[in-house]
Chains A and B, each alone.
Chain A
Amino acid sequence: MNALRRHRAFTQIWSPDRGWQRPFTTVNHSDLGRMFLLAAVFFFGVGGILAMLIRAQLATPRSAFMDAEIYNQIFTMHGTVMMFLFAIPLFEGLAVYLLPKLLGTRDLAFPRLTAYGFWCYVFGGTMLLLSLLAGVAPDSGWFMYPPLSSTIGSPGINPDFWLIGITFVEISAIAAAVEITVSILKFRAPGMSLDRMPIFAWYALVTALMILTGFPPLILGSILLELERAFDLPFFQADLGGDSLLWQHLFWLFGHPEVYIIFLPAAGVISTVLPVMARTTLLGYGWVVAAAVALGFLSFGLWVHHMFTTGIPHLGLAFFSAASTLVAVPTAVQIFAWIGTLWKGRPEMHLPMLWIMGFFATFVIGGLTGVMVAIVPFDWQAHDTYFIVAHLHYVLVGGFVFPMLAALYYWLPQLSGRKRFFKLGETAFWLVFVGFHGTFLALHWSGLLGQRRRIHTYDAGSGWEVINLISSIGAFVMAIGFALVVVDVVANMLLAVRGSRNPWNAGSLEWAMPTPPPAYNFASLPRVASRHPLSDDPRIAVRIARGEGYLATPRADRREVLAVEASSGEPEALVIYPRNTALPITMSAATGIFFLAFLFKLYWLAPLAVALVAALAWRWAWSLGDLRDRGPQDVGRGERLPLASERPGAPAWWGSVFLLIADATFFGSLLFGYAFLWTVAPGWPPPRYVEWTPLVPVLSLGGAVLASGGVRVAEARAGFGGTGIALVICALGQATLIALAAYLLAVAPEATGHAYGATVAVLAGYALLHAGLALLFTAHALARLRAGYISDRRRTEIRIARLWCDYAGLSSVIVAAAVLVPGLFA
Chain B
Amino acid sequence: MSTLHPAGPAAAAVAELWWAMLAGAALIFLFVMALLALAFRRGGDGRGAQSLWIIGLGLAFPLAVLAALLLWGLGLGERYLVPGRDDAPLVQAEARQWAWSFRYSGSSRAPTEGILLIPAGRPVDVEITSADVIHSFWVPRLAGKLDAIPGHTNVLRLQADTPGDYAGLSAEFSGPGYLGHRFTVRALEADDWEAFLAGGER
- The chain A residues found within 8 Å of chain B, CB to CB, are 67-69, 72, 140-141, 145-148, 152-153, 237-239, 243-245, 278, 280, 283-284, 287, 291, 309-311, 314, 317-318, 321-322, 325-326, 328-329, 332-337, 339-347, 349, 357, 360-361, 364-365, 368-369, 371-372, 374-385, 448-450, 452-457, 462-463, 681-683
Measured between beta carbons, the chain B residues less than 8 angstroms from A375 are 17, 21, 69-70, 72-73, 76
- Shortest B5–chain A CB gap in Å is 9
- Shortest A543–chain B CB gap in Å is 27
Contact between chains at A284 and B50 (CB < 8 Å): yes
Mark out the residues of chain B between 135 and 155 whose CB falls within 8 Å of any chain A CB in the assembled complex: 136, 140, 143-147, 149-152, 154-155
Contact between chains at A325 and B173 (CB < 8 Å): no
Q: With A329-B62, A371-B69 given, is the CB distance from A340 to B152 under 8 Å?
A: no
Q: Select which of B66, B143, B146, B172 is within 8 A of A311 by beta carbon.
A: B146
Measured between beta carbons, the chain A residues less than 8 angstroms from B143 are 380
Q: With A152-B133, A243-B151 given, is the CB distance from A278 to B62 under 8 Å?
A: no
What CA separation (Å) do A148 and B177 show in the bound complex?
12
Q: Select which of B1, B39, B57, B70 is within 8 A of A449 by beta carbon.
A: B1
Say yes or no: is B74 at the interface (Cβ < 8 Å to chain A).
yes
Say yes or no: is B77 at the interface (Cβ < 8 Å to chain A).
yes
What CA separation (Å) do A85 and B10 show in the bound complex?
41
What CA separation (Å) do A238 and B49 show in the bound complex?
57
Residue of A with least CB distance to B50: A284
Contact between chains at B54 and A280 (CB < 8 Å): no
Contact between chains at B3 and A283 (CB < 8 Å): no
What CA separation (Å) do A326 and B59 show in the bound complex?
10
Q: With A337-B54, A364-B29, A371-B69 given, is the CB distance from A310 to B77 under 8 Å?
A: no
What CA separation (Å) do A186 and B169 show in the bound complex?
55
Measured between beta carbons, the chain B residues less than 8 angstroms from A322 are 70, 74
Say yes or no: is B110 at the interface (Cβ < 8 Å to chain A).
no
Contact between chains at A341 and B36 (CB < 8 Å): no
Measured between beta carbons, the chain A residues less than 8 angstroms from B2 are 448-450, 463
Q: With A314-B82, A332-B61, A339-B39 given, is the CB distance from A372 to B140 under 8 Å?
A: no
What CA separation (Å) do A375 and B20 show in the bound complex?
13
Measured between beta carbons, the chain B residues less than 8 angstroms from A349 are 40
Contact between chains at B66 and A377 (CB < 8 Å): no
Measured between beta carbons, the chain B residues less than 8 angstroms from A287 are 50, 54, 58
The 6 closest A-B pairs by CB, nearest first: A380-B144, A238-B151, A340-B53, A450-B1, A311-B154, A375-B73
What CA separation (Å) do A280 and B39 show in the bound complex?
13
What CA separation (Å) do A33 and B73 show in the bound complex?
45
Give a binary string over B1-29; 1 marks a CB under 8 Å from any A CB, 0 the rest.
11110000011011001100100010011
Say yes or no: is B87 at the interface (Cβ < 8 Å to chain A).
no
Say yes or no: is B43 at the interface (Cβ < 8 Å to chain A).
yes
What CA separation (Å) do A328 and B47 show in the bound complex?
26
Contact between chains at A378 and B29 (CB < 8 Å): no
What CA separation (Å) do A147 and B151 show in the bound complex?
11
Residue of A with least CB distance to B73: A375
Give a binary string over B32-47; 1 marks a CB under 8 Å from any A CB, 0 the rest.
1101101110111111
What CA separation (Å) do A344 and B39 show in the bound complex?
8
Given contacts A147-B134, A345-B44, A349-B40, 15 further A-B contacts (CB under 8 A): A140-B175, A148-B175, A238-B152, A309-B145, A311-B152, A318-B74, A321-B77, A325-B69, A343-B35, A376-B81, A378-B18, A381-B11, A448-B4, A452-B171, A455-B179
Contact between chains at A339 and B36 (CB < 8 Å): yes
Contact between chains at B11 and A360 (CB < 8 Å): no
Say yes or no: is B52 at the interface (Cβ < 8 Å to chain A).
yes
Measured between beta carbons, the chain B residues less than 8 angstroms from A361 are 33
Contact between chains at B54 and A153 (CB < 8 Å): no
Contact between chains at A368 and B25 (CB < 8 Å): yes
Q: Select which of B13, B132, B154, B169 is within 8 A of A377 by beta carbon.
A: B13
- Shortest B90–chain A CB gap in Å is 16
14 CB < 8 A contacts A-B: A68-B179, A72-B175, A238-B152, A244-B150, A245-B149, A311-B146, A332-B57, A336-B54, A340-B52, A340-B53, A377-B73, A383-B145, A384-B173, A448-B18
What CA separation (Å) do A349 and B35 show in the bound complex?
16
Q: Select which of A244, A378, A682 is within 8 A of B17 by beta carbon.
A: A378
Contact between chains at B144 and A381 (CB < 8 Å): yes
Q: Select which of A280, A310, A380, A384 is within 8 A of B14 by beta carbon.
A: A380
Contact between chains at B179 and A342 (CB < 8 Å): no
Contact between chains at A340 and B77 (CB < 8 Å): no
Residue of A with least CB distance to B80: A377
Measured between beta carbons, the chain A residues less than 8 angstroms from B81 are 314, 376-377, 380
What CA separation (Å) do A326 and B149 show in the bound complex?
30
Q: Select which of B54, B59, B72, B136 is within 8 A of A340 by beta carbon.
A: B54
What CA separation (Å) do A777 and B14 show in the bound complex?
59
Measured between beta carbons, the chain A residues less than 8 angstroms from B66 are 325-326, 328-329, 371
What CA separation (Å) do A278 and B174 show in the bound complex?
50
